[in-house]
Structure 1
């Protein structure tokens, strides 16, 4: 245990002043965010009516100051009346929304005199206003969609937050639960289709909803690991759009903690959008696009080089280019039927991928990816109670990474990775999905049911490691072999053969769900889902789901929630392809223990070694998660909620990789099947167990602050490690998996996340994203692996014994909005504005280490070798019309 204490102490000292920084950050994030006192002003009153003059109670009225973006919200009384108090003079946008009616929007100019009462009449809503026509239950406090842990980020909230606008996935994953994600990461739902990619212009995103309905049978994965994206559509009566420019430069940035000089950065991001009516008054369009030019650098911090010239600390350029285009046209075929056609194009390219930390510059590989996606949505209402939606999606994607290696890679564990990169692949994928979903409302029941059929054709060329890799356990071993010609490497691995394969992947799913209002204060949601994947052919994947909500008492400000469900997962695509390629015939993986160097076949020592293969176990079945939770929610003021939630997560039949042909210790190192070296078998025998206690705040404080804060205390235990989505590591002992039981790779016991905006004086708006988490575990290994089938650990050390330091990230944005309105008399003829923003990412310049070296034989053992970006400044300007 002295060994454990030594490397744990080193790791926690890596982030200088960690606890002090954390305390300062925790205090600052709440102190700056308290809203300022509201100024006195006039009152704005009105009354909302429906078609025929009926009074509309329960409608939502919102008043937005167009200069400061300060927002007031209220709900109309039973007679349709509403009032806003203490409204300062200025230009405002008034919005009124009610279920079943078209939203009302009007620009209002207020002076110092009390205005006359407004009379607002709403029109009945047609299905053209929404692509996904479902009953909106987000304002129903008993609905699963209105649970306090759910997070909805709209365009207004987005505009106030400090975000990397070209890629929102890191922000989304901050507020999801790692244990609830599938084997391939966070589940992304785009316009109702699960399994999508967040690969579109940010300006095309209308809303992002996280954990919207935790136990919905409509989706395969739980809400805690799912994000639902709704894209924008046009307007049938007016044109609107925006243009924006974002810039970063290293001249304003702090130096990375592991760099001798500040890494170069020159980052430019341009985006624009336009929407309006189509000719003929029967439809509308929306177009958005962006381009990223990112000339950035990464830090190489290795202890030596292939030529043994000494330590290396240099900044290496890793430029990126990204282009996105999104276009949609939507037509009203009838008053109750719409047709929407959208097209998405992406073009990504990057250079020097794989370089950084211990990976030397020669490891750099280029990559490109092109994607075309077409989606057709037919939404129809056959009656006020029955609505149906059919979605057709076609996707074509081509990618290329790396090139043919002209020599072997040199891996010295915990010291450096050198030589040419062994990455080399070309992939073509074409997918076609059909989804049909229907909603039927009858009495106290709201039924939702549907089915999805997915097909994906893949042509894969995967020539990874065709140049071979020499593996050394320590720097001394490498130096002896290279300089003194003494000894040999631990292992040489190389792939040979024809790395081409084509295959078809099919998936089928169906679901049915009923949300029942059993009593005025009691709601039940019952669902059943079925998923089938061709690769595994596991045919008993029935997943029941249940959610219940109850409001005791007459005031109904407290909501008690509970739920449970089963969620099946799929076999990752990478495992399917490895099993097809590395079968010993199409591609032969050659493993040579203690080879000669630099020619592993020198002197005919190895004539025809048996190959290593990868396969999926014949008894493998679809893994699943069982999730259960109970929560107490309290409305502390109108629209502001506080909740305490306990959740339990159990994963069964999870995937792992086991060498079923590893040398048998009792047989003097002989393998069970002498015709093969390693037989890497993907099995569904791993488990996950987790508990989480979550405290959540959602809403506002006063009239100027809006935010979402969440503290999670959790513990996750499993018996398998992963090196990335869909990839798994061998156990230390393939015949005894008990020492693999330990903390999950994502087991951070404490997590605090916050996102919020606050209105400041002088028309300024500030926004912040704060994230803090205790240290993640890491593996401690010896660095020696002569058979290429294990992660060898010191005696008595189990998996993920080490703990790294805590991470703290505090990002801030300050925005000034200038109203550029034009008027004709007292009427406004256009809505225009200009936004100037300054972002500071990692504002407190905290060192967030990204990797701890766990190799005992490395001089860096127990220390970090890389860190996330230091403080970075971003300037932006946005014009909206």
Structure 2
């Protein structure tokens, strides 16, 4: 029989096949260059059927080594059968999962002889035990959620990596794209709710996904800037738990590159978790907690403030304490309805925060955060094709920073910052979220739609800079004024007034998305999203999203993906609070150019100083990113895929801060004589860039699992930030052409890798590698003529300086010791085990510079002033029961 092919699709098929051949050839060379583990062991086979006897194709089968926790996965064929080849001797756990069926688990012993085929029967499940917003389609290669450049870290993989177990944000930042992040950083989604935080014990995290479904209409930000966390729930058939202890000490660490003596470090971390069946058998529970006691130090590396020459190197204690508690209770109200209640508690505190590099010890201030979070999830299955999930979240958070300053701060550009810290603020937040999401499946269509509303009630106290700040343009000027009593500082700034304000921030969004299987080898996903916020007068934020997945062959070893979408962003909360506080009435910001020292008000003022005002432009609108990409994926082994993707990014109406009352260059006068600076947040900035990404994800049998990615990119924008939601003034407020330059995050080459290698006798090695070319830095004169920002030398644009590269290699070595249970017949006896690990962070002890002096008038110009931690070792022990 001849198959007719439409002329319109011949070219894409030919191109895809040529790309497939090229990728296979490239990978063949790489595979021949790799060491191949010995091919020994036997085959494990079986069949999966439903209780009625029909074969179940597409069921996920996982084989887990109970000693090493190494995993191998496969999927049953149309006849319902599966096979694992070359399985070494040992105790294994077999897990079988299929959509709309109860999961199955059993233990087997693999020896030298072939095993009898396993016969597995699955019972139809009327309601899911765990809360899911959508059916799992990760095994469908044409699903928009199966993109190769996505990352999934499950509990087993997670336990083998050298991570900062008390804080996962650095790991998330490593594998997300800074170019697509919103104004307040990477998006964290916890159990389906966007806008979450990492305020839970790491032992409560079951899975972490990054860049899943990049163009999903369900979420506000792109997948490359999104991390989705799924928390654990207790088992309904057993009780289990874990207890772990981690320790570090400076006696085992290398010295920081900018310290003359090794900074003190004594870090202790304890965490544990326990869960199981609730009395009555209708539900389950899970409880996790952790405590961090971190007595560390910051390294001050500035000029000597007494001799006013030569280096000043100090190690300043900066102790931290963090406590987290998480509980989850899950009930099956009926066969068709489940209810889940989560509670999270977090208490964090630090001392001597803000010290380090050019910031002197007296600048240290304390911080604290106290958080309660309650989440209620109601999941109902109305029919086999329709389900609904309603989520209610309440958060109560209190933050405090610093204390009333005892005097003014001294800021010498490019040399040091001393005097009492001017940080003194407190915030109370009470937030209530309501989210409803429904999934409907009909034939070739899988539709998901929903809406979210968020109400944040803020009570803000901000007495920052109520002690004032003297600004000196250079060390020479500071020496002349302080020692020789000649001249004046450049500027004195101080805030005065009643620093309290309360406000309500509201956000509402709705979305609908349809994934349509147009052909057996073609999947089309189209979505539409709408976002609204009450802090901006902007009502037309409609964001279409589109994703395609096409497989030119019958075996689906090659997948071509393309997508495009618009993503809107929010106005950062600090900007809203500052605009309400620093309005010239509640709080007056006073700028005095060339003041007397040390009393800026000596002799009185001929006229009251003019206030500076902070506001949001009346025509400001929500920023949006336009992202488009096309790529090809190729299966290069069982469960191993390689992808090559090109992505284009263009963002407009991005936020920036500008002094719209800066003195005119022609007259030297301010346009509005009633004010000093008018610090206005506008949506006039842009970002533009391209990225070529090569990703390999998968492994080789039970010996290795990993994820590797190389990114070649270039990004240009015209605004710089000093942290999430904090924007820096342009050097020339009337001419923004000099602001166009490399983005702060522009690193031309980036390589990220994470993987785990399983060795015999229970040994395991996990590693995380990050390599990147240098980021740019800005160059300035050190002079602030208008009291808003530093000017640049003539002809120098933003981010002209070039910083050094980054190399960070972290390694964990683990040895697992299985423990015998009281009953050898206990089904899950492998859960009883001990793990001992040694972590080495920055194992090659590379100096990763984090700050470079860009002030031309500084003696330290173009010199590094701070670096990341040197090599550190961590010892840990973990008991699983």
Q: Cα–Cα, structure 1 residues 825 and 615, in superposed 2: closer, same or farther, change >3 Å?
A: closer
Q: Cα–Cα, structure 1 residues 34 and 102, in superposed 2: closer, same or farther, change >3 Å?
A: farther
* 2:6 match: none
Superposition pairs of residues 213-292 of structure 1, within 5 angstroms: 213-292=213-292
Tell whether the 8 Å contact from 1:302 to 1:416 is kept in structure 2 after alignment: yes
Tell whether the 8 Å contact from 2:762 to 2:815 is kept in structure 1 after alignment: yes
* 2:739 match: 740
Tell whether the 8 Å contact from 1:837 to 1:875 is kept in structure 2 after alignment: yes
Tell whether the 8 Å contact from 1:306 to 1:410 is kept in structure 2 after alignment: no
CA deviation profile, 1:417-475 (whole Å, cap 9, x unmatched) = 00000000011000000001000111111111000111010100000000000011111
Tell whether the 8 Å contact from 1:328 to 1:343 is kept in structure 2 after alignment: yes
> How many residues are matched?
850
Q: Cα–Cα, structure 1 residues 873 and 268, in superposed 2: closer, same or farther, change >3 Å?
A: same
* 1:655 match: 655
* 1:14 match: none
Q: Distance in 1 between matches of 2:289 and 2:446?
A: 38
* 1:633 match: 633
Q: Cα–Cα, structure 1 residues 808 and 829, in superposed 2: closer, same or farther, change >3 Å?
A: closer
Q: Which has the higher contact order (CA 8 A, sep 6+)?
A: 1
* 1:672 match: 671
The DSSP-based 3-state class of the residue aligned with 2:362 is helix
Q: Distance in 2 between matches of 1:602 and 1:228?
A: 57
The DSSP-based 3-state class of the residue aligned with 2:479 is helix
The DSSP-based 3-state class of the residue aligned with 1:787 is coil
In structure 1, the gaps of 5 or more residues are 1-29
Deviation at 1:310, TM superposition (A): 5.8
Q: Distance in 2 between matches of 1:508 and 1:58?
A: 38
* 1:777 match: 776
Tell whether the 8 Å contact from 1:755 to 1:770 is kept in structure 2 after alignment: yes
Deviation at 1:570, TM superposition (A): 0.5
The answer to whether the aligner puts 1:73 opposite 2:73 as a matched pair is: yes
* 1:20 match: none
- Of the structure 1 ranges 806-815 and 785-794, higher mean CA displacement relative to structure 2 is found in 785-794
CA deviation profile, 1:318-370 (whole Å, cap 9, x unmatched) = 00000000001110011111000010000000000000001000000001110
Q: Cα–Cα, structure 1 residues 606 and 424, in superposed 2: closer, same or farther, change >3 Å?
A: farther
* 1:799 match: 798
Q: Distance in 2 between matches of 1:310 and 1:546?
A: 59
Deviation at 1:48, TM superposition (A): 1.3
Q: Distance in 1 between matches of 2:718 and 2:561?
A: 31
Q: Cα–Cα, structure 1 residues 582 and 824, in superposed 2: closer, same or farther, change >3 Å?
A: closer
Superposition pairs of residues 648-797 of structure 1, within 5 angstroms: 648-667=648-667, 669-797=668-796
The DSSP-based 3-state class of the residue aligned with 1:602 is coil
Tell whether the 8 Å contact from 2:352 to 2:364 is kept in structure 1 after alignment: yes
Q: Distance in 1 between matches of 2:310 and 2:147?
A: 57
Q: Distance in 1 between matches of 2:631 and 2:124?
A: 37
Deviation at 1:826, TM superposition (A): 5.3
The DSSP-based 3-state class of the residue aligned with 2:666 is helix
Deviation at 1:645, TM superposition (A): 0.4
User: What is the root-mean-square deviation in Å for CA atoms of aligned residues?
Assistant: 1.5
* 2:320 match: 320
Deviation at 1:260, TM superposition (A): 0.3
Q: Distance in 2 between matches of 1:441 and 1:76?
A: 23
Tell whether the 8 Å contact from 1:35 to 1:758 is kept in structure 2 after alignment: no
Q: Distance in 2 between matches of 1:541 and 1:794?
A: 40
* 1:146 match: 146
Tell whether the 8 Å contact from 1:188 to 1:228 is kept in structure 2 after alignment: yes
Deviation at 1:306, TM superposition (A): 6.5
The DSSP-based 3-state class of the residue aligned with 1:785 is coil
The DSSP-based 3-state class of the residue aligned with 1:579 is helix
* 1:511 match: 511
* 2:101 match: 101
Tell whether the 8 Å contact from 1:820 to 1:833 is kept in structure 2 after alignment: yes
Q: Distance in 1 between matches of 2:606 and 2:589?
A: 14
* 1:9 match: none
Deviation at 1:606, TM superposition (A): 5.3
The DSSP-based 3-state class of the residue aligned with 2:44 is strand
* 2:12 match: none
Tell whether the 8 Å contact from 1:734 to 1:790 is kept in structure 2 after alignment: no
Superposition pairs of residues 504-543 of structure 1, within 5 angstroms: 504-543=504-543
The answer to whether the aligner puts 1:811 opposite 2:810 as a matched pair is: yes
Q: Distance in 1 between matches of 2:384 and 2:535?
A: 41
Q: Distance in 2 between matches of 1:638 and 1:355?
A: 51
* 2:207 match: 207
Tell whether the 8 Å contact from 2:106 to 2:827 is kept in structure 1 after alignment: no
Deviation at 1:272, TM superposition (A): 0.3
The DSSP-based 3-state class of the residue aligned with 1:49 is strand
Tell whether the 8 Å contact from 2:400 to 2:426 is kept in structure 1 after alignment: yes
* 1:54 match: 54
Deviation at 1:786, TM superposition (A): 3.3
Q: Cα–Cα, structure 1 residues 878 and 35, in superposed 2: closer, same or farther, change >3 Å?
A: farther
Deviation at 1:827, TM superposition (A): 5.3
Q: Cα–Cα, structure 1 residues 556 and 115, in superposed 2: closer, same or farther, change >3 Å?
A: closer
Tell whether the 8 Å contact from 2:537 to 2:620 is kept in structure 1 after alignment: no
Superposition pairs of residues 137-176 of structure 1, within 5 angstroms: 137-176=137-176
Q: If the length of structure 1 is used for normalisation, what is the TM-score?
A: 0.95
The DSSP-based 3-state class of the residue aligned with 2:296 is strand
CA deviation profile, 1:526-556 (whole Å, cap 9, x unmatched) = 1110000000031000000000110002222
Tell whether the 8 Å contact from 2:845 to 2:871 is kept in structure 1 after alignment: yes
Q: Distance in 2 between matches of 1:529 and 1:70?
A: 40
- Of the structure 1 ranges 455-464 and 80-89, higher mean CA displacement relative to structure 2 is found in 80-89
Q: Cα–Cα, structure 1 residues 702 and 330, in superposed 2: closer, same or farther, change >3 Å?
A: closer
Q: Distance in 2 between matches of 1:641 and 1:606?
A: 74
The DSSP-based 3-state class of the residue aligned with 1:194 is coil
Q: Distance in 2 between matches of 1:110 and 1:827?
A: 18
